[in-house]
Amino acid sequence: MGFVDIALIVLIVTGAIYLLYRSIWKKRGYCSGCSSSGKCR
Amino acid sequence: MMMPNAARTLAAVETASIRVAVAGNPNSGKSTLINSLAGTRLHVGNWPGVTVEKKEATLDHRGRSIALIDLPGTYSLSPYTEEEIIARDFLVHDRPDVIVDVVDATNLERNLYLTVQLLELGIPVVVALNIYDEAEKKGYKIDVRAMEIALGVKVVPTVATRKTGMGDLLEAVTGATAKGSRNVPRSLNYGEDIEAAVQKLTADVARRHPALAEKYPERWLALKLVEGDHHVLAEANLSDADSLAKDAVGHLKEAHGEDLESLMADARYSLAAGLTREVLKRPAVKTTELTEKIDRVVLNRFLGIPIFLAAMWLVFKLTFDMSKPFVDWLDGTINGPFTRWVETLMGFLHGPEWLVSLVTKGVIGGVGFVLVFVPVIFAMMFFITFLEGSGYMARAAFVMDRAMHSMGLHGKSFIPMLLGFGCNVPAIYATRTLENPRDKALTALLIPLMSCGARLPVYVLFTGAFFSAQAGMVLWSLYVMGIVLAVLVGVLFKRTLFRGESPVFIMELPPYRMPSGRSLAIHTWEKGKHFLVKAGTYILSVSVLVWFLLNLPWGVENKKDSFLGKAGSAIAPVFAPLGFGNWEASSSLIAGVIAKEIVVGTMGEIYVKEIEKKPEGPAPTFFEDLREIGTSFAASGKEAFSNVFSTFGIASLKAEEKEGRATLRSVIGKTFTPLSGYAFMVFVLLYMPCVVTAVAFRHEFGTWKWFGVAFVYQTVLAWSAAFVIYQGGKLLGFGG
């Protein structure tokens, strides 16, 4: 496994964690019944 | 009829934009009216309390921008409920340019009670006489002109669901803000005594507190002081409130007793009743309406709950039967041609082996297995939307209200709980409609027991594997189990953590209506879309992370030795008495903490090796794949149609097994037994709320405390219920 592989893995994992944080915490788990602005409040 | 973006003319433009507050009674059609005017998709439903917060939409009309603010439905502007406070604070402090008062024409007197209060605010009002078609059907004759004269404002008959009267309404709104407008709400006369007090208070406040007279509409403030409105008194911070009130209303108190608030309410009811008598002519002979006829059966003391349970069973059966062929089609397409295409593309791009595995086994294995169940979720949301729109959901709440009250629970709590069938997150936010903080917390604690759509993929997977012939009944049993346990846990909490009396709950029952196809389509999409968003966000993230956890330490051969496998193995003994003490099930439950459908996605990733099956002979070409996808989709549509009318509507499951293709369902069928499979579904139904719901708890209550309580009690409840089912089933000879 080379440097590029490791860099790619770090990038993917960081991206996944950020996406998780953004969708669950920042966007408060936007879902049906929430307002059309995309937030639950 | 003029539409919102009608040709712009050279009409005098007073201001560039108009802020319009849309107010009215619950279920009078405010959100529908805004959707019709602005083409938005605000959530509507034929039951009260759909809107619990301000929502906004904008449109252009005659060169002017109109911002429509959808206020929560209220019966009055008293400061007793969250909805009333939100609506009132906005009207008093934000001072919109116009109020559109949406009045249900079939229920004029009750709606005019709010109208009377809106007129007191001194803001131009336009009355949208909505649901006018139903009033006409009932034989009501409303003298619109007489109503305009009596109220001093423009009255426009509308049918929001059909967009009738929308152009006239916009004209009235822009006209109300035009220079020299005749839209001056009339000051309705409360009678000699009250009017004298109001006049005195108005003069006193203007003299002693000029700043207050600027801040509040003067007549409104005076009326509130007569009532002794504690909210306004606290907000206005009047140092001499007592002397003001004593001077002005002393004689009223002497004449009518201490309760001036009731006196004012009576006066307003009298005004509303008088107005109604003036403008409305009802048919001489009252006919029994369809709504009444249906309610006699549906709300019957003995039949109400059995009918509710039967309706739920029908929903689940139809959901399963209609969606199953499409689930199979998606399963075949995603795990067949689509995976092949991605593998070919990755090979063409010379992607590293681990990346090919991440994409095909992690992303497609994880997200793909969740997406397979999208047809079930859309079918379920379609039926829930239909029940909401038809007016039956309100009856369901009413029927359950009686049952819950008999056990000391707050009846109104069942409304957010019903919302929980779609998604627990907005249901937690909907608890803000409950006045009592204890009832609010208790209801929020019970909501996660309502089986949300995210749990459906797990149920459908296991039901398909073990109970295909009784699919509807098994799904029904899980939903009913959630409701029954919610009632029992509610009773337990009410007697321990949440002691106290429940306030009386009066619920309005809307008339039955056939929801329009457009409305059904929009709201089914809005509800179902959420699951697609989830698939593209946190299910994708977790699938990627799960893949890494299944492949770390790097190069691990046996997944059981991976980080996730070891974590699953470590807690597996806890689940052994429940019949699923293997690391695969345990690992899936750990990942499912983020969102329950991830249980299925993780199983897809874990069992991907067993599911894989290379086609014998040469792989089909791209166009052969496309043709096969199209042909099988058409066959699925045909099968779904026939399933609805078939008693044995789930033949597709068997057909798949005949082909001998290994699927996640067939692997599950070998790993679990019917009994342990059912225990697993019950565990998924009951175990801790997902992380997104936890965040909703934190945001709504400002503390993690209530989530902590839910976490502990639900985990204990889930384990105990699964234990009783599995061990009890074994004792009864249902096999291990």
Please spell the DSSP secondary structure of A11-32, one letter per residue: HHHHHHHHHHHIIIIIS----T
Domain annotation covers residue B697: yes
pLDDT computed for residue B683 by the predictor: 96
**B275 plus B354 within the same structural domain:** no
- Extract the runs of DSSP E, i.e. beta strands, from B522-577: none
Which member of A9, A32, A40 has the closest CB to residue B422?
A32
Domain annotation covers residue B299: no
**B414 plus B528 within the same structural domain:** yes
> Which chain A residues touch B41 with a CB distance below 8 Å?
36
CATH of the domain at B245: 1.10.287.1770
pLDDT computed for residue B655 by the predictor: 42
A23/B527 CB distance under 8 A: no
Kindly indicate the confidence band of residue B415, based on its pLDDT and cuts at 50, 70 and 90: confident
Inter-residue contact B543 to B562 (CB < 8 Å): no
Residues B294-312: what's their mean pLDDT?
Answer: 87
> Which chain B residues touch A17 with a CB distance below 8 Å?
541, 545
pLDDT computed for residue B145 by the predictor: 92
B534/A34 CB distance under 8 A: no
> Which chain A residues touch B57 with a CB distance below 8 Å?
36
Burial class (CB in 10 A: 0-12, 13-18, 19+), B234: exposed
A3 touches chain B (CB under 8 A): no
Q: Which residue has the higher pLDDT, B732 or B214?
A: B732
- The tokens for B460 are 């459908």
Q: Which residue has the higher pLDDT, B575 or B420?
A: B575
**B201 plus B253 within the same structural domain:** yes
Of B42, B538, B598, B700, which to mutate for an interface test with A (greatest number of A Cβ within 10 Å)?
Answer: B538
> Which chain B residues touch A32 with a CB distance below 8 Å?
43, 381, 422-423, 426, 526-530
How far away is chain A from the Cα of B692, in angstroms, using its nearest Cα? 5
Residue that finishes a domain, picked among B176, B203, B233? B176
> Which chain A residues touch B540 with a CB distance below 8 Å?
16, 19
Q: Choose the weakest-confidence range: B135-139, B250-254, B285-289, B330-334.
A: B285-289
Burial class (CB in 10 A: 0-12, 13-18, 19+), B659: exposed
Using alpha carbons, select from B419, B330, B317 the residue that is nearest to residue B370: B330
The answer to whether the peptide bond before residue B157 is cis (omega within 30 degrees of 0) is no
> Which chain A residues touch B43 with a CB distance below 8 Å?
32-33
Q: Which residue has the higher pLDDT, B647 or B604?
A: B604
Distance separating alpha carbons of residues B275 and B256, to the nearest angstrom: 24
**B532 plus B414 within the same structural domain:** yes
Inter-residue contact B36 to B16 (CB < 8 Å): no
Residues B639-646: what's their mean pLDDT?
Answer: 72
Look at residue A32 and give its three-state secondary structure. Answer: coil
How far away is chain B from the Cα of A4, in angstroms, using its nearest Cα? 10
User: Tokens 């009731």 identify what position?
Assistant: B262
Kindly indicate the confidence band of residue B654, based on its pLDDT and cuts at 50, 70 and 90: very low
pLDDT computed for residue B717 by the predictor: 96
Position B143 pLDDT exceeds 50? yes
**B471 plus B327 within the same structural domain:** yes
Percent of chain B past pLDDT 90, that is, above it, reads 20
pLDDT digits (tens, 9 = 90+) for B22-45: 999 888 888 889 888 887 666 555
Distance separating alpha carbons of residues B232 and B230, to the nearest angstrom: 6
CATH of the domain at B112: 3.40.50.300
Which member of A8, A20, A32 has the closest CB to residue B542?
A20
Percent of chain B past pLDDT 70, that is, above it, reads 85
**B45 plus B161 within the same structural domain:** yes
**B266 plus B368 within the same structural domain:** no
pLDDT computed for residue B416 by the predictor: 77
**B487 plus B579 within the same structural domain:** yes
Q: Which residue has the higher pLDDT, B447 or B494?
A: B447
pLDDT digits (tens, 9 = 90+) for A6-35: 899 999 999 999 988 888 777 665 554 454
Cα separation values, B470 from B110, B465, B467, B502, Å: 47, 11, 5, 39
- Most confident among B98-107, B208-217, B553-562, B623-632 (mean pLDDT): B98-107
Sorted by sequence, the CB contacts under 8 Å of residue B619 that are 6+ apart come out as B340
A30/B533 CB distance under 8 A: yes
Cα separation values, B632 from B327, B461, B526, B626, B644, Å: 11, 20, 27, 10, 18
Burial class (CB in 10 A: 0-12, 13-18, 19+), B138: middle
Residues B431-457: what's their mean pLDDT?
Answer: 83
Domain annotation covers residue B736: no
Kindly indicate the confidence band of residue B558, based on its pLDDT and cuts at 50, 70 and 90: confident
Position B614 pLDDT exceeds 70? no
Residues B673-685: what's their mean pLDDT?
Answer: 95
**B472 plus B547 within the same structural domain:** yes
pLDDT digits (tens, 9 = 90+) for B327-352: 888 888 887 888 888 888 888 888 88
Q: Which residue has the higher pLDDT, B68 or B529?
A: B68
Position B9 pLDDT exceeds 70? no
Which member of A20, A24, A31 has the closest CB to residue B530?
A31
User: Tokens 């709980």 identify what position?
Assistant: B417
How far away is chain B from the Cα of A3, in angstroms, using its nearest Cα? 13
* pTM of the shown model: 0.69
**B641 plus B586 within the same structural domain:** yes
Q: Choose the weakest-confidence range: B265-274, B321-330, B401-410, B703-712.
A: B401-410
> Which chain A residues touch B695 with a CB distance below 8 Å?
24-25, 28-29
Which member of A24, A31, A36 has the closest CB to residue B426?
A31
Position B407 pLDDT exceeds 60? no
Does an H or E element contain B159, and which? none
Neighbours of B678 (CB within 10 A): 24
> Which chain B residues touch A9 with a CB distance below 8 Å?
548
What is the ipTM, given to two decimal places? 0.82
Which member of A13, A19, A32 has the closest CB to residue B540?
A19
Does an H or E element contain B17, and which? strand B17-24
Domain annotation covers residue B419: yes
Residue that finishes a domain, picked among B265, B281, B297? B281
Kindly indicate the confidence band of residue B576, based on its pLDDT and cuts at 50, 70 and 90: very high
Look at residue B641 and give its three-state secondary structure. Answer: helix
Does an H or E element contain B62, and which? none
Q: Which residue has the higher pLDDT, B384 or B505?
A: B384
Domain annotation covers residue B182: no
Which member of B352, B533, B699 has the closest CB to residue A41?
B699
pLDDT computed for residue B197 by the predictor: 82
A8 touches chain B (CB under 8 A): yes
Phi, psi at B102, each rounded to 5°? -85, 115
pLDDT computed for residue B589 by the predictor: 94
Task: Report which DSSP code applies to A28.
Answer: -
Position B650 pLDDT exceeds 60? no
Q: Choose the weakest-confidence range: B12-16, B171-175, B221-225, B625-629.
A: B12-16
Residue that finishes a domain, picked among B150, B176, B202? B176
Domain annotation covers residue B131: yes
**B33 plus B74 within the same structural domain:** yes
Inter-residue contact B110 to B73 (CB < 8 Å): no
Position B318 pLDDT exceeds 50? yes
A10 touches chain B (CB under 8 A): no
How far away is chain A from the Cα of B695, in angstroms, using its nearest Cα? 7
Using alpha carbons, select from B510, B514, B525, B511 the residue that is nearest to residue B386: B514
Residues B678-704: what's their mean pLDDT?
Answer: 88
Domain annotation covers residue B186: no
> Which chain A residues touch B419 with a CB distance below 8 Å?
33
pLDDT computed for residue B357 by the predictor: 87
Which member of B352, B527, B696 has the closest CB to residue A29?
B696
Per-residue burial over B68-88, b if 16 or more Cβ lie within 10 Å, else e, is bbbbbbbbbbbbebbbbbbbb
Look at residue B514 and give its three-state secondary structure. Answer: coil
Kindly indicate the confidence band of residue B647, based on its pLDDT and cuts at 50, 70 and 90: very low
Q: Which residue has the higher pLDDT, B130 or B436?
A: B130
Structural domain that includes position B246: 192-281
A24/B594 CB distance under 8 A: yes
Domain annotation covers residue B297: no
Inter-residue contact B401 to B414 (CB < 8 Å): yes
Q: Domain count of chain B?
A: 3
Position B520 pLDDT exceeds 60? yes
Task: Report which DSSP code applies to B76.
Answer: -
Of A13, A14, A40, which to mutate for an interface test with B (greatest number of B Cβ within 10 Å)?
Answer: A40
Which member of A9, A17, A40 has the closest CB to residue B425?
A40
pLDDT digits (tens, 9 = 90+) for B96-130: 999 999 999 998 988 999 999 999 888 899 999 99
**B220 plus B274 within the same structural domain:** yes
Give the amino acid at B218. Answer: E
A40/B699 CB distance under 8 A: yes
Sorted by sequence, the CB contacts under 8 Å of residue B194 that are 6+ apart come out as B226, B252, B263, B264, B267
